[in-house]
Structure 1
Amino acid sequence: MIRRNGTVTPFDAGKITVALTKAFLAVEGAGAAGSPRVHDVVQDLTDQVVANLTRRVGEARTFHIEDVQDQVELALMRGEHHKVARAYVLYREERARRRAAAKAADARPAVPALRVKAEDGSLAPLDEIRFATIVEEACAGLDDVAAAPVIGEARRNLYDGITLDELSLAPILAARTLVEQEPNYAFVSARLLLDRLRREALSFVSGAPEQATHAEMSTRYASYFPAFVRTGIEAELIDPELGRFDLARLGAALKPERDLQFQFLGLQTLYDRYFLHARGKRFELPQAFFMRVAMGLAVREIDREERAIAFYHLLSSFDFMASTPTLFNAGTLRPQLSSCFLTTVADDLDAIFKGIKDNALLAKYSGGLGNDWTPVRGLGAHIKGTNGESQGIVPFLKVANDTAIAVNQGGKRKGAVCAYLETWHVDIEEFLDLRKNTGDDRRRTHDMNTANWVPDLFLERVEADGEWTLFSPDEVPDLHELTGSAFRKAYEAHEARAAAGGIKVHRKVRALDLWRRMLTMLFETGHPWITFKDPCNIRSPQQHIGVVRSSNLCTEITLNTSKDEVAVCNLGSVNLANHVTEAGLDLGRLAATVGTAMRMLDNVIDINFYTIPEARRSNLRHRPVGLGVMGFQDALQTLRIPYASDAAVSFADESMEAVSYHAISASADLAAERGRYPSFEGSLWSKGILPIDSIRLLQDERPGVDMDRSSRLDWAALRERVRTTGMRNSNTMAIAPTATISNICGVAQSIEPAYQNLFVKSNMSGDFTVLNPQLVHDLKARGLWDEVMVSDLKYFDGSVGQIDRVPHDLKALYATAFEIESAWLIEAASRRQKWIDQAQSLNLYIANTSGRKLDELYRLAWRKGLKTTYYLRSRSATHVEKSTLKGTDGKLNAVLATLAAAPAAAEAIAAQADGPWGKACAIDDPDCEACQ
């Protein structure tokens, strides 16, 4: 524990017990000294204080004496010992006044000179000038931040003999406490973390202790970069081929100033999970990281340096960000760069366990998995080899579930897989129960995602309140291969056969009852997701050579799979926030971004490290990529457009049309330069049918589809160029969740509305305060940003909707996900879907759920032509902490002094002070692949 004079003493819980006992004696008199009740209460309070302190200590490993006293106050209030709490508050105030008076009367320094312990154990005086310089440099150029409060709070937690790591951590933690007051402190925290990273990386690369300020890095980066590459090669972490680049040229192209773009969440995520490290030390700085990825993607280009520099500028500017596997593995010895793999599991024991083995191999290097289990025969089906009966798919799904947990991508993120089952499969009802927390645990898959693969005919039967027949696929193998009217014809024929006794395993259910159960389980467990088979196939450019049998882990990929082909997709996302101004969409910048991004994604296919041959065969034959978008909500707020508005729907349409136009055009350009993808002939592309045109095909099969077909750009010329020149890629677009890469770029995820305007995000890197900076900017402009507003945001769980003094236009602009009717999300998604040749990860949000509401919502998604939906989000049981503590664990605010005389108010605050604020696991689950 750090004392007020900076000295350190061992923590002693007994002193807390003594202090509490004295407080009770002061209030209840000497008679309380031997009271068993007081003894028990004091012991219980002591245990609470110790538990809270040890839970909050984190990396620091030290407490300040004021932290302990703050926790004692809180424990007393939570325990409703209001008189004792009042006495304790007044006692602390009196002691503080005495110390201040003594300090004023004593001219001697209150804090002795501190020494810092180096890694070799030697002690050296703290360099006060450098310490202040680093903090001042971190605050430079940012509005409404100051070095003094950061230095003051950090200085309070220093002690004689502090280690270098603890010294670097102190100002980071100090700046983080201020984020909820001013979002720009998120940049300050990141810059202070950079100082720590620079010391770690430069020392490792040079082999001697070294540190540098940001200003010094303007010249140091160029010389560091070649040494970084050599160090990575020697550590067998970087592909030796990168050493053959012109490293001096690439080092000179680095932009050190782009290090300042990071917010703390983004940089900490990179530090924890992305930067290369050896022997427990990170040696990769941010701009070296982006250049390493760029080099890895340019390694087969003719002018590798020129292309690497172009790719680097796109990544480091945050205009575009490659997906997590690409960032993890580009330029390494095993460059597995693809995000998504889709497999079909065949109906025999060898194939089933080969599928599970393939899952392990694909997950090992950061792939997310979607498995089509529909071909596997159902419960009670005959097994010819043993003359027995099948146990169905559930026991095998349990094995697949446990495999995903066992193969956790080297600890970088948990292995993740989604199982798909078509709605007519006889095991569908057991499939719906897989994520329940009750029942036989051997028939549950608590860690596996699940999704329904729903044919149009089923929903037509639901709307007609008709019957639905369940089959085992070994007796009706054609159903999984057919779509639209062909599926309807075959399905009705099988129903007739079953009625005549020609099919052994079958069962009739009321379609509406099954649909309601699907929605009930979706609400209760979050699974299975609802995805639509027919739109995925009827609008697929590749329907001439196969069938889309499932989607992927996050429901945005719709590619063909078979016994011989594992579908692979390579993802990246355009940051829309960087491509809008208040005047609108910057089409020139967007065209340039998309052109370069498509080249990067196409390069992935040839560079990729394939862990199974079926994936390589499929990817080289069809060459699909998935260009998506993120920062949609940020773009809307820049344009001053509320999410729940016709203008937002129009912007979704306009922006996706532009991305689609330039993505298709870029793929045609690549076809002219590099050649068409091998399976081009016979595709919709080869017939001049673009995604916007394929809507007609769906409407022909299902006349009730309600999709807008208007356009703004000149599609006729592009349509002809695609038909004659060809395409380099069978598929070009898919909107992924972008959970982690959007954090890196500091923008809203994907196409999501803001979850809250103030909350704590939890991921594998820890807990991070997130405050909407655009909201703060607008509130400041109107003179409304103050401590009361911060308190109100906490009280109303990050929503401005119920804060009376916030103007109505800001309430509409900054409405959060649960305040927006999900019908607006579906309408915007429908406008995007008309331009996308794959699908989009579309989450739906329900504040006040009813069966009718869910039914209407998912039927609307179907009628609007969506291919898939993703999570159904409901409100979390935990909300923003109503704590009056400033910062993280710091001092009580000024209101507390007045509460000493107001027990009722103190009781109200104490009742609101519990819990981790804003950790909504239904939104930000640290174990969720999509959230990561």
Structure 2
Amino acid sequence: MNVHVMKRDGSTVAFDRSRIERAILAAFMDPAVLGPDAGKSASVRDKIKAYTDKVLAKIESRPAAVVAVEDIQDLVESVLMDAGEHKVAREYIRFRDLQAEQRKAAGHDVSVSSTQSTIRLKKPDGSLEPLDRKALQALVAEAAEGLDEGVDSGTIVNDAIKALFDGAPASALDDALILSSKQRIEQEPDYTYVAARFLLDKLRREVLPGLGLSNVDTQANMGLIYPEVLRRGLKRGVDAGMIDPALLDQFNLGKLGAAIDAYRDFQFTYLGLQTLYDRYFQHEDGERYELPQTFFMRVAMGLALNEDDPTDRAIEFYQVLSSFDAMSSTPTLFNSGTVRSQLSSCYLTSVPDDLFGIYSAIRDNAMLSKFAGGLGNDWTPVRGIGSLIKGTNGKSQGVVPFLKVANDTAVAVNQGGRRKGAACAYLETWHRDIEEFLELRKNTGDDRRRCHDMNTANWVPDLFMERVAQGAEWTLFSPADCPDLHDKFGQAFRQAYEAYERDADSGKIRNFKRIPAKQLWRKMLTMLFETGHPWITFKDPCNLRSPQQHAGVVHSSNLCTEITLNTSPGDEIAVCNLASINIANHLTEYGSIDRSKLAFTVKTVMRMLDNVIDLNYYSVDEARQANMRHRPVGMGLMGFQDALYVKSLPYASREAVVFADELMELISYYAIEASAGLAGERGAYQSFQGSLWSQGVLPIDSIDLLRQGRGGMLDMDEGSVAGLDWDSLRETVKTGMRNSNVMAIAPTATIANITGVTQSIEPTYAHLQVKSNLSGEFTVINPSLVHELKRRGLWDKVMVQDLKYYDGSVQAIDRIPEDMKAVYACAFEIDSKWLIEAASRRQKWIDQAQSLNLYMAKASGPKLAELYEFAWKKGLKTTYYLRSMGATSTEKSTITDHRLNAVQQAPQAKVCSIDDPDCESCS
């Protein structure tokens, strides 16, 4: 084997296989593993030989002729973990730590950097410049400033220098520093901030010269130069035809520049900043001309264009965004302040039952998707299979062939070239084609009648759920025979549906099918488990509790099931504009809600969202008409799980449910109050009169309307826990609301990554995992867990290996106390009924809905039926993905093997929590 080993002092020696065998043997011989005679066992000797062979194979697969001794030891750990030798691996880690301590005590640790010869880096002009080690050390020291003592600056410097060679391009140093930091995130979460700061340094050297400015060595100097970066960056964007010239003309740029807080650049995690770097910052020919704070200021300026004092309002908006107290949705971040400011997240359409209308709807999909909108299409009006086509006297093929065209359109027209096109098709459960609709995502059958890229959802009436409970029959109709069912809900739907059933019995309607309701329910749940679709959403709660019942019908939800707005074929395309409050930033040091701060943030965000409506670019006229008429917005939240960590509350607890209740009550109160305040300043929305708001009926009051519509079949709490003056607010609301709808909880997949918090209302998926998005793969470890383990003296390298071994879960780690296991239970370790309980408490305060994912580790038909029937009884309007546990990957790698932590659960149903592009449209 022609490989040499680089020792810690920089010298090289010939590879010696026996050293690996002796080290593994020492780990096996520990009495805590197999006892004192373990090394004498023939089977153990065979294992040691086999494991050593695997290490050699990994070394030989590498192109380098010289391998560092630390890399070899990492490979030994990897092989032992892959083989399931958990206890042996633990002892091997302890053996390495002991040796490191002995070397340090004896003064034998020698920096690689002190032994290597001078390294020269190649500049862009081709000249060579010696590596400035003092500047490198200063850069690394700044990157580690204010972080946990577990961040080792010396190790980062040495790693970076080891990765370089004489004549390497200057950019190689950036890559080496980032790599050295991000591969250590799993052992110390603060390395994510170190990696982000190195990326920030790289970004500065890209942006500043492009704006004609000299690069600054440290972030400390950015405060002086940021105002000029703002001015020149906006000028370059205007000259490139990307930025709205009004941003140069209508603002006091000097005042805005002075308001920029350069040190807020240090808030980013590596995942957050890399995401912005790759997809959000404005660029020309691939060269970025925005830095993080000028990015937030550009977004804030774009949202303040129509204000009486745009400069002061932009500063107010900037403070909320750049502090991560709240974040606008992705389309707003993409496009605010640009020449084509498509800021809205979601579009809901109804497809009419004629060929011209169908293809017009598909055209609208293409135009809306082009400018980064997520789509929810109501296909229920389209006639079912076998229906008469009067113009040709032929028979219809049903809705599925048109869905195939819509599916391919979503693939062909992506969202601004930065995200995949994304759409969700909705169909009511009584539609003649519902059975084939359920199978659209299957990988078997006629592929011409499959839609592999489009999401699907059931729009389920209460009457169907009642028939399931009763074990009764259910009748499928074509909308061509009963078109008014589409626009009816509650008791009116029941009466019309039962009348059509009598018509079918008497022969007046021939194109129908009757099946047991439980049989169809079983198929719905089976497909949901097998394919992740269609999602289960409930028509009647969405309509009976809608503030806009007088103005139309809610025919579907959106791409992510949190928007419930009226649509009308050929007249109105519903639009919703989203932003989310970061709850983790609104707790006091004692874990209580900071009410005054929350009220201020909510008020500011409501103003930003209302501005979006007037500033938005509408690619379809029907969307403009609907948005100007009703002015709906959707303010949500993220970081709910982080807040529970701060409060040391298990998600599966009554205390967490009450906290969800109190939190949402406060947000609801402040949001409604803010919209009413905007109505006093700017006027009520056009269709206000006749709404539930105009009658003083708030979301909490509309629960009674749902109970009446169901005949009492509702188990929903109606209490108030925050002690707010709702009676006074009702009187204020009667005088006017600026927005027809004000709240909706979106998935926040991307913006939660940007702000470094847990997404939306989700429980933690795993405490150590790899998140994958369009920017790559990122190791993510739960900093709250690590902080608590450190506080209890339990955080060490063995704990890192344990988290890997147990797929990011703490439940099987015997050293972790039971109280911690309860607080840090992962998503699949929590009974989803607790998620529904908390969601039900939130839903009573929300005028729209929530993107609620449900988890089931060991799914079965009866369990799924029970879970979704429970969600219906608890008054939820919608549910989102079902995430069920499948096979588990067994590959477990070490931090310096550069494969990162590849251990993840592999859910059978589609999983969107890891930054799924499908749900970014609401993020």
Question: After TM superposition, is the score higher than 0.5?
Answer: yes
- Once residues 853 and 73 of structure 1 are traced to their aligned partners in structure 2, the CA distance between those partners, rounded to angstroms, is 43
Q: Do 1:2 and 1:157's aligned partners in 2 also have CA atoms closer than 8 Å?
A: no
Corresponding residue SS for 1:391: coil
Return closer, same or farther for 1:476/1:303 CA change in 2, 3 Å cut-off. same
Q: Do 1:642 and 1:815's aligned partners in 2 also have CA atoms closer than 8 Å?
A: yes
- Once residues 405 and 109 of structure 2 are traced to their aligned partners in structure 1, the CA distance between those partners, rounded to angstroms, is 71
- Once residues 73 and 774 of structure 1 are traced to their aligned partners in structure 2, the CA distance between those partners, rounded to angstroms, is 30
Q: Do 2:113 and 2:161's aligned partners in 1 also have CA atoms closer than 8 Å?
A: no
The answer as to 2:420 corresponding to 1:414 is yes
The answer as to 2:699 corresponding to 1:710 is no
Q: Do 2:641 and 2:763's aligned partners in 1 also have CA atoms closer than 8 Å?
A: yes
Return closer, same or farther for 1:919/1:160 CA change in 2, 3 Å cut-off. farther
Aligned residue type for 1:425? H
Tell me the equivalent position of 2:798: 788
Select the residue among 341, 348, 359 that pairs with 2:347.
Answer: 341
- Once residues 878 and 379 of structure 1 are traced to their aligned partners in structure 2, the CA distance between those partners, rounded to angstroms, is 41
Tell me the equivalent position of 2:788: 778
Deviation at 1:108, TM superposition (A): 12
Deviation at 1:450, TM superposition (A): 0.3
Q: Do 1:49 and 1:68's aligned partners in 2 also have CA atoms closer than 8 Å?
A: no
- Once residues 486 and 624 of structure 1 are traced to their aligned partners in structure 2, the CA distance between those partners, rounded to angstroms, is 26
Q: Do 2:556 and 2:564's aligned partners in 1 also have CA atoms closer than 8 Å?
A: yes
Return closer, same or farther for 1:105/1:541 CA change in 2, 3 Å cut-off. closer
- Once residues 384 and 212 of structure 1 are traced to their aligned partners in structure 2, the CA distance between those partners, rounded to angstroms, is 75
Tell me the equivalent position of 1:196: 202
Corresponding residue SS for 2:833: helix
Deviations 1:190-231 (A, max 9, x none): 11111011111111111x663431111121212221111111
Return closer, same or farther for 1:799/1:719 CA change in 2, 3 Å cut-off. same
The answer as to 2:918 corresponding to 1:929 is yes
Aligned residue type for 1:456? D
Q: Do 2:376 and 2:423's aligned partners in 1 also have CA atoms closer than 8 Å?
A: yes
- Once residues 72 and 650 of structure 1 are traced to their aligned partners in structure 2, the CA distance between those partners, rounded to angstroms, is 48
Aligned residue type for 1:157? A
Tell me the equivalent position of 2:230: 225
Return closer, same or farther for 1:583/1:315 CA change in 2, 3 Å cut-off. same
Corresponding residue SS for 2:848: coil
Q: State the number of aligned residues.
A: 862
Return closer, same or farther for 1:378/1:111 CA change in 2, 3 Å cut-off. same
The answer as to 2:605 corresponding to 1:597 is yes
Of stretches 828-837 and 403-412 in structure 1, the one that deviates more from structure 2 is 403-412
Return closer, same or farther for 1:495/1:109 CA change in 2, 3 Å cut-off. closer
Of stretches 361-370 and 212-221 in structure 1, the one that deviates more from structure 2 is 212-221
Return closer, same or farther for 1:332/1:888 CA change in 2, 3 Å cut-off. farther
The answer as to 2:572 corresponding to 1:565 is yes
Deviation at 1:917, TM superposition (A): 4.5
Tell me the equivalent position of 2:747: 737
Deviation at 1:878, TM superposition (A): 3.5
Aligned residue type for 1:929? D
Deviation at 1:799, TM superposition (A): 1.1
Return closer, same or farther for 1:220/1:524 CA change in 2, 3 Å cut-off. same
Q: Do 1:763 and 1:924's aligned partners in 2 also have CA atoms closer than 8 Å?
A: no
Q: Do 2:160 and 2:177's aligned partners in 1 also have CA atoms closer than 8 Å?
A: yes
- Once residues 331 and 865 of structure 1 are traced to their aligned partners in structure 2, the CA distance between those partners, rounded to angstroms, is 40
Select the residue among 578, 595, 604 that pairs with 2:585.
Answer: 578
Tell me the equivalent position of 1:307: 313
- Once residues 199 and 118 of structure 2 are traced to their aligned partners in structure 1, the CA distance between those partners, rounded to angstroms, is 25
Deviation at 1:781, TM superposition (A): 1.0
Deviation at 1:681, TM superposition (A): 0.5
Aligned residue type for 2:758? A
Corresponding residue SS for 2:705: helix
Deviation at 1:114, TM superposition (A): 0.8
Return closer, same or farther for 1:687/1:614 CA change in 2, 3 Å cut-off. same
- Once residues 112 and 676 of structure 2 are traced to their aligned partners in structure 1, the CA distance between those partners, rounded to angstroms, is 77
Tell me the equivalent position of 1:903: none
- Once residues 75 and 179 of structure 2 are traced to their aligned partners in structure 1, the CA distance between those partners, rounded to angstroms, is 22
Corresponding residue SS for 1:693: coil
Q: Do 1:346 and 1:376's aligned partners in 2 also have CA atoms closer than 8 Å?
A: yes
Corresponding residue SS for 1:509: strand
**Identity, % of aligned pairs?**
59
Select the residue among 734, 737, 740 that pairs with 1:723.
Answer: 734
Deviation at 1:52, TM superposition (A): 7.3
Select the residue among 405, 408, 420 that pairs with 1:402.
Answer: 408
Deviations 1:657-684 (A, max 9, x none): 0000000000000000000000000000
- Once residues 739 and 2 of structure 1 are traced to their aligned partners in structure 2, the CA distance between those partners, rounded to angstroms, is 46
Deviations 1:778-805 (A, max 9, x none): 1111111111111111111111111111
Deviation at 1:110, TM superposition (A): 3.2
Aligned residue type for 2:441? R
Tell me the equivalent position of 1:31: none
Identify unmatched segments of 5+ residues in structure 1.
7-15, 25-40, 891-912
Of stretches 658-667 and 794-803 in structure 1, the one that deviates more from structure 2 is 794-803
- Once residues 176 and 50 of structure 1 are traced to their aligned partners in structure 2, the CA distance between those partners, rounded to angstroms, is 23
Deviation at 1:358, TM superposition (A): 0.7
Of stretches 667-676 and 767-776 in structure 1, the one that deviates more from structure 2 is 767-776
Return closer, same or farther for 1:109/1:250 CA change in 2, 3 Å cut-off. closer
The answer as to 2:837 corresponding to 1:827 is yes
Q: Do 1:796 and 1:880's aligned partners in 2 also have CA atoms closer than 8 Å?
A: no
Tell me the equivalent position of 1:237: 242
Q: Do 1:417 and 1:448's aligned partners in 2 also have CA atoms closer than 8 Å?
A: yes
Of stretches 402-411 and 550-559 in structure 1, the one that deviates more from structure 2 is 402-411
Q: Do 2:111 and 2:158's aligned partners in 1 also have CA atoms closer than 8 Å?
A: no
- Once residues 840 and 277 of structure 1 are traced to their aligned partners in structure 2, the CA distance between those partners, rounded to angstroms, is 34
Deviations 1:452-503 (A, max 9, x none): 0000000000000000000000110010100011000000000000111111
Q: Do 2:567 and 2:573's aligned partners in 1 also have CA atoms closer than 8 Å?
A: yes
Aligned residue type for 1:598? M
Q: Do 2:455 and 2:534's aligned partners in 1 also have CA atoms closer than 8 Å?
A: yes
Corresponding residue SS for 2:694: helix
Aligned residue type for 1:225? L
Tell me the equivalent position of 1:182: 188
- Once residues 785 and 72 of structure 1 are traced to their aligned partners in structure 2, the CA distance between those partners, rounded to angstroms, is 22
Q: Do 1:764 and 1:927's aligned partners in 2 also have CA atoms closer than 8 Å?
A: no
Tell me the equivalent position of 2:898: 889
Structural mapping, 1:266-415, within 5 Å: 266-415=272-421
Q: Do 1:760 and 1:918's aligned partners in 2 also have CA atoms closer than 8 Å?
A: no
Deviation at 1:105, TM superposition (A): 13
Deviation at 1:777, TM superposition (A): 1.0
Q: Do 1:595 and 1:666's aligned partners in 2 also have CA atoms closer than 8 Å?
A: yes
- Once residues 326 and 108 of structure 1 are traced to their aligned partners in structure 2, the CA distance between those partners, rounded to angstroms, is 46
- Once residues 143 and 801 of structure 1 are traced to their aligned partners in structure 2, the CA distance between those partners, rounded to angstroms, is 26
Aligned residue type for 1:732? V
Deviation at 1:107, TM superposition (A): 13
Select the residue among 106, 110, 114 that pairs with 2:115.
Answer: 110
Deviation at 1:53, TM superposition (A): 5.8
Tell me the equivalent position of 1:485: 491
Deviation at 1:760, TM superposition (A): 1.0
Deviations 1:9-54 (A, max 9, x none): xxxxxxx9x999xx99xxxxxxxxxxxxxxxx9xx99998599769
In the superposition, the TM-score normalised over structure 1's length comes to 0.88
Deviations 1:854-907 (A, max 9, x none): 111000000000000000011253457433x234439xxxxxxxxxxxxxxxxx
Aligned residue type for 1:591? A
Return closer, same or farther for 1:104/1:233 CA change in 2, 3 Å cut-off. closer
Deviations 1:611-638 (A, max 9, x none): 0000000000000000001100111111
> What's the RMSD between the two structures over aligned residues?
3.3
- Once residues 838 and 104 of structure 1 are traced to their aligned partners in structure 2, the CA distance between those partners, rounded to angstroms, is 61
Aligned residue type for 2:172? E
Return closer, same or farther for 1:262/1:876 CA change in 2, 3 Å cut-off. farther
Of stretches 120-129 and 733-742 in structure 1, the one that deviates more from structure 2 is 120-129
Select the residue among 519, 525, 547 that pairs with 2:525.
Answer: 519
Corresponding residue SS for 1:321: strand
- Once residues 70 and 886 of structure 2 are traced to their aligned partners in structure 1, the CA distance between those partners, rounded to angstroms, is 30
Tell me the equivalent position of 1:673: 681
Tell me the equivalent position of 1:443: 449
- Once residues 673 and 139 of structure 1 are traced to their aligned partners in structure 2, the CA distance between those partners, rounded to angstroms, is 47
- Once residues 432 and 193 of structure 2 are traced to their aligned partners in structure 1, the CA distance between those partners, rounded to angstroms, is 54
Corresponding residue SS for 1:380: coil
- Once residues 310 and 758 of structure 1 are traced to their aligned partners in structure 2, the CA distance between those partners, rounded to angstroms, is 36
- Once residues 690 and 405 of structure 1 are traced to their aligned partners in structure 2, the CA distance between those partners, rounded to angstroms, is 40
